[in-house]
Structure 1
Amino acid sequence: MSKEFANVESFDLDHTAVKAPYVRLAGKIEGTHDVVYKYDIRFCQPNESHMDMPGLHSIEHLMAGLIRNHLDDVIDIGPMGCQTGFYMTVLNNDSYDDVLAALEKTLEDVLEADEVPACNPKQCGWAANHSLEGAKDIASNMLKGKDEWSQVFADEH
């Protein structure tokens, strides 16, 4: 692999060996005073399924605000380009259990939502491309697999 891509953690992950859904710590960056934790929140099995764009777009909007109600110091949560999951970065909180609990509560909040926030041309770059129903389907499917979230690889028991 060329040097300019040698530090991309996800390129070193064997996407054929993982078993979605899962949540894994994908990286940690230590600064002088703070530590940033990066989580791989995988909703769909890589190279087999993906989230449709309107549903993914809507669950992104919903989770961006709702996750912060359940977990302090969330820096960002954003979708993967492959449409199989999200990356979430958190400041100074290394509790995997806190992340799992916050994700579960957030997805339950998505199921209760009656609208997609910031779903208009002024606040969104593609406001016509949303689906609240799609977001709820994605959340529901992820919650069905919550007992498996800590199992990243298919050969783990």
Structure 2
Amino acid sequence: MNVESFNLDHTKVKAPYVRLAGVVNGTHGDTIYKYDVRLCQPNQEHMEMPALHSLEHLMAENIRNHTSQVVDFSPMGCQTGFYLTMLNVDDRDEVMAYLEATLKDVLEATEVPACNEVQCGWAASHSLEGAKELAQKMLSARSEWPEIFGSEA
């Protein structure tokens, strides 16, 4: 299959984790690294849309306070995680440090950025409290992020 995640055995992974999911070398020397930031166990749980949506806004905005090398932070359609796309950042430990700092920012947030009809395509679908719960859940399992596959893999 052409899509990397379609070749991943979702029954073998153990969320939460942070996984390098793709590398693209640009023609001008830059390299794009795509990280799979998985919060929920595939096919067993998922993020509810208002919480996911708010977490996306908070993470996309705040991670850029920790690094200027973010290309994109976007949700997976399956609602189990996000893709973090970075420019020239091939160190997963560095990426996990950015994610940890940003999730801590989420816990301190008092509002969801760009949560209005001018800046958001579905402004009615947000939950700051839900985003904070997801952030806390991910942070509580910080030591597990490097482990991608469960013991049955």
Q: TM-score, normalized by length of structure 1?
A: 0.94
Map Cα deviations across residues 4-54 of structure 1 (whole Å, 9 max, x no partner): xx2200000000000000000001001221100000000000000000000
Q: Number of residues paired by the alignment?
A: 151
What SS is found at the alignment partner of 1:82?
A: coil
Query: Aligned partners of 2:68, 2:140: CA distance in 1, in Å?
Result: 25
Q: Structure 2 counterpart of 1:15, which letter?
A: H
Q: Structure 1 counterpart of 2:114, which letter?
A: A
Q: Structure 1 counterpart of 2:94, which letter?
A: D
Identity of aligned residues (%): 66
Runs of 4+, deviation exceeding 6 Å:
none
Query: Aligned partners of 2:57, 2:145: CA distance in 1, in Å?
Result: 22
Query: Aligned partners of 1:152, 1:104: CA distance in 2, in Å?
Result: 17
The match for 1:131 is 127
Long gaps (5+) in structure 1: 1-5
Instruction: State the Cα RMSD in Å.
Output: 0.9
Q: Which of 20, 27, 39 pairs up with 2:22?
A: 27
Q: Which of 5, 9, 13 pairs up with 1:10?
A: 5
What SS is found at the alignment partner of 1:25?
A: strand
Query: Aligned partners of 1:82, 1:66: CA distance in 2, in Å?
Result: 23
Is 1:142 paired with 2:138? yes
The match for 1:49 is 45
The match for 1:82 is 78
What SS is found at the alignment partner of 2:57?
A: helix
1:110 touches 1:136 (CA, 8 Å); kept in 2?
A: yes
Is 1:116 paired with 2:84? no
Q: Structure 1 counterpart of 2:65, which letter?
A: N
1:71 touches 1:98 (CA, 8 Å); kept in 2?
A: no
Deviation at 1:72, TM superposition (A): 2.6
What SS is found at the alignment partner of 2:9?
A: coil
1:71 touches 1:99 (CA, 8 Å); kept in 2?
A: no
Q: TM-score, normalized by length of structure 2?
A: 0.96
Q: Which of 98, 103, 118 pairs up with 2:99?
A: 103
1:15 touches 1:46 (CA, 8 Å); kept in 2?
A: yes
Query: Aligned partners of 1:47, 1:18: CA distance in 2, in Å?
Result: 11
